[in-house]
Amino acid sequence: MKFQGSKHRAPSVQFARAFGLWRLALVACLLMFAATASAQEEGQEPPPAETHATPSLPDALLPQITAAIQGVTTPDVAALAKALHIGERLEGTSPGAPPNTLSSVGDLDGDGVPEMLLQWAIPDVTVGAEVAPAPDSRPLWGVYLLSWDGAHWKASRLLTGVEDFTPVLINLGPPAQRGLAVVIHEGEPPIPYPAVFQVRDHAATLLWDAQADDSRYEPLLQGRVNFEDHADAPAQMIVTGRADPGFLHVDPRGHRGFQERAVYHWDGKAFIPVKTESFADQDYTIYRFISALHLHDYRSAYALVVPAKFLNADSPTVDTFRDFIEDNWPEFLRDEVFQAPEPLAGSPDDHLFVLSKPGMRYVYHPVFSSDGKFLLTGLTRTREALPAERD
């Protein structure tokens, strides 16, 4: 049975993204007002800003960056860094704020001059003395691509309002050729979401976003995204991490669940999954067992047990297994969602799983074969009353 994971969107991640976007919008409004006032005083406006990658939010920093670099008429990176005040503490930034950075990402457009990645800290906005920043909050960054067009540097936006990211230069094959993959790390623990950009006419263009509605990307808990480049073919994207299966929920910060490795191929427009490997362990057996019985696929579930021991029978068959499940384990045939809690320190029952009901919960204690196949040799169930909720 092929596992189809669900896209993970932890509530903490959703809240952090929503707060970050709200803060970014407020910053944008204030900086746009300041930029307009400055332009009116000087009687001129900055040149039009190049932005193709993420047009959903206004970007007040991009016009400032474009204005700062318009006087740089050399591909010399030192001159570019000086114009952007890289390494200096800018006015309005808080003490201890991380500095803006400028780094090379390689020659994306093949003109012999490497493109530069600008990481610009979005200024904090004090909305009131009663509002305190979250103790574990990190700065939000705007990420921009700077490209030399033969006469000037051109700036275009890649990402806005991100906390952590990793850029990777990859081969996309014809017609795109070179591309820039930027992997965003969201949440705690972080979950990777890649996006792919191409440089056209010295400006960044978004080709694919893992978080788009039509994306077939499946994030994994505590996941990692790597790219395997090939000289004569588009790069492969390799995603590894812990699965969060629908019928067996696990703690995103824990160790329960099973490991997966997914391979994605670039089809010219998007990364498409072509192969997913799940690595056998006790939780993988539990997940497959529950999933098969949910679909009333008794033969597949039967293949996951040691029949004589699980049924305590001398001559077991699939039919006797079906009768045994219907008589003793009907909850597996229904649309139930189980939890795989993290084991308590020193507990010998590392792989128990739980079904919660109003006022009580059922705890399942599986036993597995020791031959490396992790087949079920036994399963028991206990019922625990939950403490009454206080008003």
302 with 186, same domain? no
Q: What is the pLDDT of residue 21?
A: 43
* Domain presence at residue 109: yes
pLDDT of the chain, 391 residues: tens digit per residue: 333 333 433 333 343 444 444 444 444 443 344 344 333 434 444 433 333 344 345 678 899 999 999 999 999 999 999 999 998 766 655 566 678 999 999 999 888 999 999 999 887 654 444 445 555 567 789 999 999 999 999 999 999 889 899 999 999 988 768 899 999 998 888 899 999 999 989 999 999 999 999 999 999 999 999 999 887 889 999 999 999 887 899 999 999 999 999 999 999 999 999 999 999 999 999 999 999 999 999 999 999 999 999 999 999 999 999 999 999 999 999 999 999 999 887 777 789 999 999 999 999 999 999 999 999 999 999 999 987 766 5
63 with 199, same domain? yes
Domain boundary among 175, 204, 219: 219
Q: Which two tokens stand for residue 321?
A: 């297994």
Q: Is 0.75 surpassed by the pTM of this model?
A: yes
Give the integer Cα–Cα distance in Å for 8 and 260: 15
DSSP type of residue 99: P
Task: State which amino acid sits at residue 363.
Answer: V
Question: How many domains, in total, are found in the chain?
Answer: 2
In CATH, what number is assigned to the domain containing residue 308? 3.10.450
Phi-psi region of 268 (alpha: psi -120 to 50; beta: other; left: phi over 0): left
Q: What is the pLDDT of residue 92?
A: 57
Give the integer Cα–Cα distance in Å for 179 and 234: 10
* Domain presence at residue 342: yes
| Beta partners for residue 51, in sequence order | none
Domain boundary among 219, 236, 259: 219
Q: What is the pLDDT of residue 286?
A: 97
Q: What is the pLDDT of residue 226?
A: 97
Q: What is the pLDDT of residue 345?
A: 77
* Domain presence at residue 261: no
297 with 177, same domain? no
* Long-range contacts of the stretch 158-161 (C-beta < 8 A, 24+): 158/53, 158/54, 158/117, 158/182, 158/195, 158/197, 158/204, 159/53, 159/54, 159/184, 159/195, 160/24, 160/54, 160/57, 160/59, 160/122, 161/17, 161/20, 161/21, 161/23, 161/24, 161/57, 161/122
209 with 294, same domain? no
- What is the signed CA dihedral for 243, 246, 252, 258, rounded to 10 degrees? -30
Q: What is the pLDDT of residue 230?
A: 84
Q: What is the pLDDT of residue 57?
A: 52
204 with 289, same domain? no
Q: What is the pLDDT of residue 2?
A: 36
215 with 320, same domain? no
10 Å Cβ neighbour count for 69? 18
Expressed as residue numbers, the domain containing 310 is 285-385
In whole angstroms, how large is the CA radius of gyration of the chain?
27
330 with 212, same domain? no
Give the integer Cα–Cα distance in Å for 355 and 286: 13
* Domain presence at residue 31: yes
Please give the full DSSP string across 317-356, using - where no structure is assigned.
Answer: -HHHHHHHHHHH-GGGGSS--EEEPPPPTT-S-TT-EEEE
Domain boundary among 167, 191, 219: 219
> Residues 72, 152: contact at Cβ < 8 Å?
yes
Q: What is the pLDDT of residue 94?
A: 59
> Residues 217, 264: contact at Cβ < 8 Å?
yes
75 with 215, same domain? yes
Give 324's Cβ-side CA count (13 Å radius).
Answer: 19
Q: What is the pLDDT of residue 59?
A: 77
